[in-house]
Chains A and B, each alone.
Chain A
Amino acid sequence: MKHIVTLLSLVLGASVSAAHAHGVWIAPSSTVLSAPQFVTFDAASSSVPFMIDHRPLVIDALSIIAPDGSKVTPVNVMKGELRTVFDAKLEQQGTYRLELLRSGFRASWKDAENKPKRFMGTAEALAKEVPTDAKDLQVTETDSRMENYVTVGKPSALKTTGKGLELVAATHPNDLVTGEPVELTFLVDGKPTEGVEVAIIRSQSRYRNSTDEKTYKTDRNGKLKVTLPDAGMYWLDADFKDNKVTNKVAKERSLAYVITLEVLPQ
């Protein structure tokens, strides 16, 4: 919780649009498999993606969807002090999708003594927590999607839902290799959208002097092109704001999308 508060203060203090999703990640032990088997996952929120140094991720809302659309139940779930671990048995040929969808509201205001107050939670809780005389009240509806993809055998075609912020990659997420440029299209409620802010960070940042974060913005067709020169696990975070709220208590909607991409050497 402390972490969320820290991040929130960042949101309030600066125009860091990506901040609320920063450092939240799920990392698979493998993404490209030639036979059915178990895969294990780490999930956490941390200072830098893939660094196990802060809090475990709550995975209550996690779904693992098999190539035939059925759901796989995660097993050996362990919520540690620093990270959550779970395994999944991948028995079918094709692409499995892990998704963790989270939505809610965050609010900031000043109380009667001009002290800053913050809230994160459901619309119902928000109505209870925020006093009617709150000053400078700002309410944002949040909607985030985290994804991981793992393929056994041949990658299968992926579908989007048409809700919130989503990614369509011209190269399948389990088909990425060094040096081949990838075209990414970001959709908001199913439509390619300009101005989506994207940040990409490669894993193992402990062993270098900077996170080497790369930032991008989608063009008028909702597209951007990236080249990932080094093999490794990459964290991609995309953020977008608009005013298409589902609940009028909020004026603004803040969308986030996070995916883990593994890039293999050629």
Chain B
Amino acid sequence: MRKWVPALSPGWVPALVAGVFTYQANAGEISVKVTLPQINTSEYHRPYVAIWVEKPDQSVQQNLSVWYSQKKTDKGEQSDKWLKDLRQWWRKSGRDQSLPMDGVTGATRAVGEHALTFVEGKEPLASLPAGQYNIAVESAREKGGREIVRVPFTWPVKKAETAKATGQSELGDIVVNLKP
């Protein structure tokens, strides 16, 4: 989808709109609920978090969401200095991206539950070839730890189902709801 959108001429738009509507009628949906746990520490900083669709070989199929500070630090340094601490994501995808990424990157988030919904055919999920995948969630916190949690799923979704995994330290419940 990403490839042909920029090439649109005005005459194609009605066809595209119609196409999207029929597509969405049977588009699969992935909802991810990420829980950032309360951590008792004298100096708490919101974690950097990356969420992506991972292939069985651990390569990144699709980035879904990345939360990091885009402000400069008090030393005037760019805050993406710390993105490398999301070390799995940084190695597998982050370092190849031009940041910030449209529709993917955003500000850090507070302790609690964060529900995200991704619809097939709509950025950032775009098209997902049939296969086995993980939803991978990685979290790294300044003066804290780092953790990655994976929830496996099969695509396309045949019937609605829920899968869950729970982090030990930096992440709480990761609940993945799949809808056909």
Residue ranges of A at the interface with B (Cβ–Cβ < 8 Å): 32-37, 153-155, 175, 177, 264-266
Contact = CB atoms under 8 A, between A and B. Distances in A.
Interface in B100-143: none
A33 B84 contact: yes
Contacts of A266: 88
Contacts of B83: 34-35
B59 to A, nearest CB: 13
Given A264-B87, A265-B87, A35 B81 contact: yes
A155 B92 CA distance: 12
B134 to A, nearest CB: 14
Nearest to A38: B77
Contacts of A175: 91
Given A34-B80, A35-B81, A37-B77, 16 more contacts: A32-B87, A32-B90, A32-B91, A33-B84, A34-B81, A34-B82, A34-B90, A35-B80, A35-B83, A37-B81, A153-B95, A154-B95, A154-B96, A155-B95, A264-B91, A266-B88
28 contacts: A32-B84, A32-B87, A32-B90, A32-B91, A33-B81, A33-B84, A34-B80, A34-B83, A34-B84, A34-B90, A34-B94, A35-B78, A35-B80, A35-B81, A35-B83, A36-B78, A37-B77, A37-B81, A153-B95, A154-B95, A154-B96, A155-B95, A175-B91, A177-B91, A264-B87, A264-B91, A265-B87, A266-B88
Interface in B54-96: 77-78, 80-84, 87-88, 90-91, 94-96
A177 B91 CA distance: 10
A34 B95 contact: yes
Contacts of B80: 34-35
Nearest to B85: A34
Contacts of B95: 34, 153-155
SS class of chain A's interface: helix, strand, loop or mixed? loop
Contacts, number: 32
A177 B58 CA distance: 13
Nearest to A266: B88
Contacts of B96: 154
A35 B87 CA distance: 14
Nearest to A36: B78
A48 B82 CA distance: 31
